[in-house]
Amino acid sequence: MVIVVGNQAPDFTLPDENGVEQTLSAQRGKKMVIYFYPKDGTPGCTKEACSLRDGYGLLQQAGITIWGISYDSPKSHKAFKAKHHLPFTLLSDSTKEVAKLYGVKGWFFVDRVTFLIDEKGVVVQRLDDVDVSAHAQQIVDAFKAAGKEK
């Protein structure tokens, strides 16, 4: 499946790092970022997560809620989040169904892709060329370019 900018983001429910089910459609009314990343604790993924952590204030100021998704377990996510003091939610797609739904399912790891979703649940941008060192700024700039950020 290919997610097309301008279409409704496919809905899903996944467990977070605490095992609590999170549903995308319950976030309507918020600007959402769903970033898929290969694996907790790997160099590129750690750099990306820490970049988002360091730019979290910028994201909050822009009214953006962020969820990270990988195939890792809630337990792995909890440890990764605690170790790096990540202030955002990490979701476990252990069945790879959501990655498949979003067209980012890799053989061993999910592809590194970020989706920007507006308050109505519409995909306004897909970022395939993720800058792991400055991802928060990249997201804010992409929302601005899409006309969704003041």
Q: List domains and CATH numbers for the chain.
A: 30-71+89-94+110-150 (3.40.30.10)
Instruction: Kindly tell me if the per-residue pLDDT of 85 is higher than 50.
Output: yes
Neighbouring residues of 123: CB distance < 8 A, sequence distance ≥ 6:
3, 4, 5, 6, 7, 8, 9, 115, 116, 117
Instruction: Kindly tell me if the per-residue pLDDT of 52 is higher than 60.
Output: yes
Instruction: Kindly tell me if the per-residue pLDDT of 106 is higher than 90.
Output: no
Each residue's pLDDT tens digit, 17-48 = 999 999 999 999 999 999 999 999 999 899 99
* Helix ranges restricted to H, 6-130: 43-54, 56-61, 74-84, 97-101
Q: List residues with catalytic annotation.
A: 45
